Structure 1
Amino acid sequence: MLREVTATRYITPLREGGSLPGLVEADDLGTYVMKFTGAGQGRKTLVAEVVCGELARRLGLRIPELVRMELDPVIGLSEPDQEVQELLKASGGLNLGMDFLPGSIGFDPLAYEVSAEEAGRIVWFDAVVNNVDRSWRNPNLLVWHGDLWLIDHGATMIWQHNWPGARASAAKPYNASDHVLAPFAPDIAAAAARLAPLVTEELLTEVTAEVPEEWLADEPEFDSADALRRAYVEPLLERAATIHERVVLGPPTADRPSQAPGWLTGRGVR
């Protein structure tokens, strides 16, 4: 189960994120990026962070530690920014923390080489969870101690926003044309051969069990948190088995160079 900590000091907002995450200190003396239940995207964003983040970790991808983070709204009383103060007030109780990686830098495809094998693993994983937010515009990758770390999985599993259409939505292909790692000739077939057998019903049941029960309450189509957890397991299990056959690397977009392998001055050619 995710460790639980308590926020003790709000340091600063991180305005790069659409949900206005914040940098906080906790009672374990750690520093975390905190994501709030009171943010506009709601608790489903946090569910996606936990399910996808913990799945990625179990598949051997690098994910900063996720923790359950208790927040007392009184922590925001001295915050001068009205928007931040309102967010903290609306987020009392259990929120999500992600370990802060000090000294990490945002991934730049022009400055950092990625092997076809590693690119394939990340693109395949993003295809499984239908991550639409790891593009060249917003990589959501950090470089820390020379390694790639995956962050920000709130914009995944879009089917959770329309459960009656979840199975049809989950069956759709994954368009990786704008994926930030598309230029590095991702070996998606090799990634699928290695990782797909690991994505079992047992593994996904373990991962969804990490989601706090209160974030799963009151979902209209489900009579229990366990039934909702099962609804997360089924599409991920199906996609993991076959999505590598439906990953699309299309033609260049109009507002950047071609994403085909090799557009980075030959860097992506293998």
Structure 2
Amino acid sequence: MLTEVIATRYVTPLREGGSLPGIVEADDFGTYVMKFTGAGQGRKTLVAEVICGELGRRLGLRVPRLVAMDLDPVIGLGEPDQEVQELLKASGGLNLGMDFLPGSIGFDPLAYEVGPAEAGEVVWFDALINNVDRSWRNPNMMVWHGDLWLIDHGATMIWHHNWPTAASASAKPYNASDHALARFRPDLAAAAAKLAPLVTEELLTEVAAQVPDVWLADEPGFDSTDALRRAYVDALLPRAATVHERIVLEAPTEDRPSQAPGWLKERLKPAPHATRPATPSGAKKDQQQDGGAK
């Protein structure tokens, strides 16, 4: 399982994303971006974050460290924003934390060059996990200390929202034409040769074991959390061997709606966050920069 820490202070919300994550301090003296079980996207978003984030890290990609964060809703009582209070009240228990990357900046393909080898590995990885949310419109990557870091894997493995179709859905091609790194001539053959042999049954089983049981419980069609973990292994293992043959790279579109299916686009749609009252000058330090998740 993930390392477990206890949230000790809610610092500030990050309003760029639809799930309203927040910067939180923990009892290990770390600072994390917390994603909440009570957010509208649901616990499957957190499952996807864990499986894909932990898989990416084991494949040598830069993903912020993940932890399970135990949240006492009483932390939110002093938060003046009613929306944040309600989110914290709905998220008691285990939530997901990812290392906050202080001073990081959002990836800009016009300002940061990525080599074909690294671009190929990221595109291949996104094809493996069927990431529909790393386009030029919304790269979900950060640059920290001069390196590229991958964040926000909640919109991946979309087949786990409809398990009866998982086998057919996981076998489909991956259109990378609008991928944020498509312009950098990704070397997909080299990426497949390097990464595909690493995606073994043992590795995927280890990664799936990191997901807390409470996020997997009571899934329709499965009689145990272990059976559900096995379903993730069965979906990803055969895909790793051949997905590079089914990656589509064409001219990027200038303006095309998300490739995600309609039911998932509703989950990804930003929530209508309430407007926080203006803070008097000097009453509160400037809001921290989003360094780990949207």
What TM-score comes out, normalization by structure 2 length? 0.86
Name the aligned partner's letter for residue 142 of structure 2.
L
* Corresponding residue for residue 250 of structure 1: 250
Checking the alignment, whether the CA contact within 8 Å between 2:2 and 2:212 is kept in structure 1 is: no
Post-superposition Cα deviations, 1:94-139, rounded to whole Å, max 9, x if no partner, equal 0000000111111000010100000000000000000011111111
Q: 2: distance between equivalents of 1:128 and 1:217? A: 25
1:43 aligns with 2:21: no
Post-superposition Cα deviations, 1:24-76, rounded to whole Å, max 9, x if no partner, equal 11111111000000000100000000000000000000111100100000011
Aligned counterparts, 1:70-109, within 5 A: 70-109=70-109
* Corresponding residue for residue 226 of structure 2: 226
Name the aligned partner's letter for residue 109 of structure 1.
P
SS of the equivalent of 1:108 reads coil
Aligned counterparts, 1:256-267, within 5 A: none
* Corresponding residue for residue 268 of structure 1: none
SS of the equivalent of 1:219 reads coil
Name the aligned partner's letter for residue 150 of structure 1.
L
Percent identical residues: 82
Q: 2: distance between equivalents of 1:22 and 1:252? A: 33
* Corresponding residue for residue 142 of structure 2: 142
Name the aligned partner's letter for residue 98 of structure 2.
M
Moved over 6 A (4+): none
* Corresponding residue for residue 180 of structure 2: 180
Q: 2: distance between equivalents of 1:84 and 1:180? A: 31
* Corresponding residue for residue 24 of structure 2: 24
Post-superposition Cα deviations, 1:194-227, rounded to whole Å, max 9, x if no partner, equal 0000000000000000000010000011000000
* Corresponding residue for residue 206 of structure 1: 206
Name the aligned partner's letter for residue 224 of structure 1.
S
* CA displacement at 1:78 relative to structure 2: 1.1
* CA displacement at 1:18 relative to structure 2: 1.1
Q: 1: distance between equivalents of 2:243 and 2:234? A: 14
* Corresponding residue for residue 121 of structure 1: 121
Q: 2: distance between equivalents of 1:48 and 1:237? A: 16
SS of the equivalent of 2:183 reads helix
* Corresponding residue for residue 263 of structure 1: none
* CA displacement at 1:255 relative to structure 2: 2.8
Post-superposition Cα deviations, 1:231-268, rounded to whole Å, max 9, x if no partner, equal 10111111100000000012331339xxxxxxxxxxxx
Name the aligned partner's letter for residue 40 of structure 2.
G
Name the aligned partner's letter for residue 96 of structure 1.
L
Checking the alignment, whether the CA contact within 8 Å between 2:71 and 2:91 is kept in structure 1 is: yes
SS of the equivalent of 1:37 reads coil
1:59 aligns with 2:96: no
Post-superposition Cα deviations, 1:182-201, rounded to whole Å, max 9, x if no partner, equal 00000011100000000000
SS of the equivalent of 1:210 reads coil
* Corresponding residue for residue 259 of structure 1: none
Q: 1: distance between equivalents of 2:211 and 2:57? A: 15
Q: 1: distance between equivalents of 2:42 and 2:255? A: 31
Higher relative contact order (CA 8 A, sep 6+): 2
Checking the alignment, whether the CA contact within 8 Å between 2:129 and 2:157 is kept in structure 1 is: yes
Q: 2: distance between equivalents of 1:213 and 1:129? A: 21
SS of the equivalent of 1:166 reads helix
Cα gap change, 1:149 to 1:252, in 2 (>3 Å): closer
Checking the alignment, whether the CA contact within 8 Å between 2:135 and 2:178 is kept in structure 1 is: yes
Equivalent pairs, count: 256
Q: 1: distance between equivalents of 2:6 and 2:64? A: 18
* Corresponding residue for residue 11 of structure 2: 11
Q: Which runs of 5+ in 2 are unaligned?
A: 257-294
Cα gap change, 1:149 to 1:254, in 2 (>3 Å): closer
* Corresponding residue for residue 162 of structure 1: 162
